[in-house]
Each structure stands twice: as structure tokens, then as C-alpha cells.
Amino acid sequence: MATNSSANGGYSVDTLKGNAQAAYDQIANGPVATNMKDQTAKTGAEFSNLADSRRTPSKPAATGQPLTHYHSFFSELLSWKNPRASGIAYASIVAVIFAARYLDIIRYFFKATWVTLGFTVLAEVLGKAVLGNGLASQIRPRKYYTLSRETLDAAIGDVHELVNFFVIEAQRIFFAENVSASVAAAAGALISYYLVKIVPYWGLALLGTTVLFLAPLVYTSNQELIDHYVQEGSDMLNSQTEQLRQVASKHTSQATEITKQYMGDYTAKAQSMLHRGGSASPEPVSKPAPQSNIKETDFPDAPKQGFKSEELGVKGVEEPLVA
């Protein structure tokens, strides 16, 4: 009976092991596990494509200087060409925002630090007291980990590229290299100016992240419809602009003609006034007669009768005798 029971018990154990293995194989090779493996492989491939997209774009900035490899990286990330990678990045940023809002991360960091150090110190002290060797010293590595110069240079270079990405993009938006991006940034700043009065900063960060990630997705999903309405708006704006340009040109030409007419009239009047002033001769000024001390009584009176011959002779004068 014991043999039979042991045999039956052994048979039962083997049966249970076989059933468990069959169930595991069924679950591991089932449609759910296969789907999970496929999704994991696709997600890894998309992250690899996203990492490979970090190349310096061939098209430089308007100034001619090359852009950073983060321009192509973020362009690839926000374009949703790799939807799993973009979705995970968006969910990670949202989780960080909520964690910063509802979790006291700094306090938890200090708590984890003192708990870890307290555990290692306690293990070392108790180990030396009981076993003669500290437990922390037993798991201590033979050589402390260090960062190689190549790794540090790569990290510093990556941070340098990331900082330059934000610096260059800020200048491109400010100097309107891409008018659409500048308009979107101005609209976002205007909306944030009014929302900051009623929405906390973490809410603005969440809203900005959502718009930044979902706006390209909405555009790519409805590109034809959006491009159609954008083209209609552009045509309407161009027609209105052309009409305003024609009206402005007409009024400008009229104002120019009127100005020329008035300038011609004023120039003619000024020239006539100048010519009239140059031909006018000054009136002679009479000078006072010089004063003299000679009087009319100082001169003899002029004879009033004509001269006669007899009157010219001298009466009573005898002629001398000639001997």
C-alpha cells in the first residue's frame, strides 16, 4: 500500500509538474504573451530609431550656422513617426509633473538617504560585533566605480548640445525665422499671461506639454483638412492685403500729385517774389545843400541896360598932343 501510495503520490507530483509546465507554456506561447513580445520588440525598435535620428540637420539656420542634433531628435519625437516612443515620452513627462506636484521628492530623497546609510552602518557595526567582520565591508567592491573621461566628455558634449538647442531655437523664434513658429509662441505667451492668474505653474506645464505633443499628432491625423482651411485663409488674407495695397497705392499717388502741385505753386510764388524784389531800384536820397557864409549883397548888381559907344568914352579927358 505504501508503494502504491508512494507511486500514486509520485504520479500525482509528476502530473502536477506536467500540468504546471503545460500551463506555463500555454501562457508563455499564448496570444497575449506573443502580443506583448511583439509590442516590446516594436517599442525597442522605435527607441532605437529615435536614438539614431540624433544627427545634425543638413539644412542650416538662416544665419548659415549648423544646427544641433537635438533639432532632428525633437523633430522626430514630436512628429509621432515612432508612436510608442512618443507616447512613452509624453506619459513620462506627465508623470514627472504630477510627481513634482503631489510628491515631496526632496523630502523623500533625504529620507531614502538616511535610511540607506543607517542600514549600512547598522549592518557594519552588528557584523563586526557578532561575526567579527562588517557586512557592508563584505559587499564593498574591490575598486570604486568612476566615470571615464570619454563618458564624461560625451555627457558634457550632450548637455552642451541640448543647451545650444534651446538657445538657438529661442533666437530663431525671436527673429521670426519661421513665422508660424513665432506666431504660435506669441499666442502661447499671450494665453499663458492670462492663465497664470488662475492656473498654477504645474498646470501650465501640463497644458504646455499636452499642446506640444498633441498638436503635431492632430495635424498629422487631419493634415488634408487643416491644409485646406489654411490655404483658404491664406488666399483670403492675400486678397485683402492686395486690395489694401492697391488702395494705399492710389491714395499715395494722389497725395504725391497734390504735394507736387502745391510745391510747384509755392515755388512759382517764391521765384516771382525774388524777381520782383531784385528789379526794384532804390529811390535817390536828396542830400542837404552845403551851407556857405557868402551873401548876395557881397556881389555888385548886374547892369540892366545895354552897352553904348559913347558911354564907353571918358568925358573931359583930352588926347595928348603929338610933337
| Tens of pLDDT, residues 38-66 | 888 888 888 888 888 888 888 888 888 88
Tell me whether residue 21 is in a domain.
yes
pLDDT for position 3: 46
Residues 231, 235, 241, 244, CA torsion sign: negative
pLDDT averaged over every residue in the chain: 80
pLDDT for position 137: 83
pLDDT for position 309: 45
Tell me whether residue 101 is in a domain.
no
**Residue 187 — very low, low, confident or very high, per pLDDT cuts 50/70/90?**
very high
Q: Which residue has the cell 559907344?
A: 309
Quote the CA–CA distance of 196 and 203 in Å, as a whole number.
9
Quote the CA–CA distance of 74 and 312 in Å, as a whole number.
145
Q: Which domain holds residue 249?
A: 222-267
pLDDT for position 240: 84
Q: Which residue has the cell 494722389?
A: 254
Tell me whether residue 80 is in a domain.
no
Cell of 85: 516612443
pLDDT for position 25: 65
pLDDT tens digits for range 146-162? 989 999 998 999 999 99
How many domains does the structure of the chain reveal? 2
Tell me which of 247, 267, 287 is where a domain ends. 267
pLDDT for position 98: 93
308 Cβ partners below 8 Å, 6+ apart? Answer: none
Tell me whether residue 5 is in a domain.
yes
Q: Is the pLDDT of residue 105 over 90?
A: no
Q: Is the pLDDT of residue 252 over 50?
A: yes
- Is pLDDT larger for residue 275 or for residue 120? 120
Tell me whether residue 26 is in a domain.
yes
Residues 77 and 90 sit within 8 Å (Cβ to Cβ): no
Q: Is the pLDDT of residue 290 over 70?
A: no
pLDDT, mean of residues 190-211: 93
Tell me whether residue 25 is in a domain.
yes
Tell me whether residue 84 is in a domain.
no
pTM passes above 0.85: no
Quote the CA–CA distance of 132 and 126 in Å, as a whole number.
9
Question: Burial, 322: exposed, middle or buried (Cβ in 10 Å; 0-12, 13-18, 19+)?
Answer: exposed
pLDDT for position 219: 86
Quote the CA–CA distance of 230 and 237 in Å, as a whole number.
10
Cell of 282: 532804390
Rounded alpha-carbon distances, angstroms, from residue 309 to 99, 207, 318 = 158, 146, 17
- Is pLDDT larger for residue 322 or for residue 251? 251
Tell me whether residue 261 is in a domain.
yes
